[in-house]
Amino acid sequence: MLMAREIRTAHREDARTVQITKLLSFASLALVACGGESAPPSTPAPPTVTVASVTVSPPSLRLTVRQSSTLSAEARDASGAVLAGQTVSWASADEAIASVGASGVVTGVAAGTTTVTATAGGRLGTASITVGEQAFEPSRLTLRSGVPARLIFLRTTDKTCATSVVFPSLSIRRDLPLNQPVEIAFTPQTAGEIQFVCGMNMLRGTVIVQ
């Protein structure tokens, strides 16, 4: 009787051993299968672009009151290569003299000098802005083709760059002394426009020939 019990007990223990072994083998296969799957390749992060300098063009402007002109800015890296797509912000050191818009358009407000700054990537670029009080008044004249004309220029202030006047297409240049009338005579031959400018090529006017 004792021997029979021991045999039955041994068979039961063998059965448990086989069952546990099968379970452990299944678990091992499952772990091997899971571990064999490869993870998808990671996307490398884009290289960091560092702005080394900002250049504003032109570096200086001369305007009259209410006259506008546009500045541009280029951001460059340490090697001097232009960095496209950089966000540029604009600011004027004195909005009472010249204002600047988000696209770099500068407008003269009052006589004086100020600085406009362009910022990109934490770097700054600047342009000097000088605003003069006076322009040619009127800045547009109408003449008739073939009819002799006389234009009288009178400079009444020192706060202007118009100390001379130039008609480039007519090869005419005249100094404009303070408070002294200066006559310029010519006969326009064809219909169109004739430009005149101050000696610094900042103030402009137009003669319309009909």
Return the CATH class of domain 53-132. Answer: mainly beta
pLDDT at 192: 92
Could you give the dihedral angle defined by the CA atoms of residues 50, 52, 57 and 60, in that order, rounded to the nearest 10 degrees? Answer: 140
For residue 64, is pLDDT > 60?
Answer: yes
pLDDT at 39: 60
For residue 11, is pLDDT > 60?
Answer: no
Check residue 137 and give left, alpha or beta (phi > 0: left; psi -120 to 50: alpha): beta
pLDDT at 31: 41
For residue 26, is pLDDT > 60?
Answer: no
Q: How far apart are CA 32 and CA 36, in angstroms?
A: 6
Looking at every residue in the chain, the average pLDDT score rounds to: 79
Indicate if 140-209 has the same CATH topology as 53-132: yes
For residue 122, is pLDDT > 60?
Answer: yes
* Short-list 86, 68, 69, 85, CA closest to 125: 86
For residue 73, is pLDDT > 50?
Answer: yes
For residue 168, is pLDDT > 90?
Answer: yes
Which band of pLDDT confidence, cut at 50, 70 and 90, is reported for residue 111? Answer: confident
Q: How far apart are CA 147 and CA 10, in angstroms?
A: 134
pLDDT at 87: 92
Residues 84, 14 contacting (CB under 8 angstroms) = no
Residue ranges covered by each domain of the chain: 53-132, 140-209
Q: Specify whether domain 140-209 bears CATH 2.70.150.10.
A: no
Which band of pLDDT confidence, cut at 50, 70 and 90, is reported for residue 37? Answer: low
For residue 24, is pLDDT > 50?
Answer: no
Looking at residues 112-140, what average pLDDT do you find?
84
**19 vs 179, more confident:** 179
Question: CA angle at residue 113 from 110 to 116, to 5 degrees?
Answer: 100
Q: In what order do the strands lie in the sheet with 172-175?
A: 140-143, 204-209, 192-198, 164-167, 172-175
User: Three-state SS string across 92-131, please?
Assistant: ECCCCCEEECCCCEEEECCCEEEEEEEEECCEEEEEEEEE
* Short-list 196, 197, 159, 205, CA closest to 178: 159
For residue 70, is pLDDT > 90?
Answer: yes
pLDDT at 54: 93
Which band of pLDDT confidence, cut at 50, 70 and 90, is reported for residue 101? Answer: very high
**66 vs 188, more confident:** 188
Question: For the chain, what's the residue count?
Answer: 210
For residue 134, is pLDDT > 70?
Answer: no
For residue 56, is pLDDT > 60?
Answer: yes
Burial of 125 (0-12, 13-18, 19+ CB in 10 A): buried
Which band of pLDDT confidence, cut at 50, 70 and 90, is reported for residue 55? Answer: very high
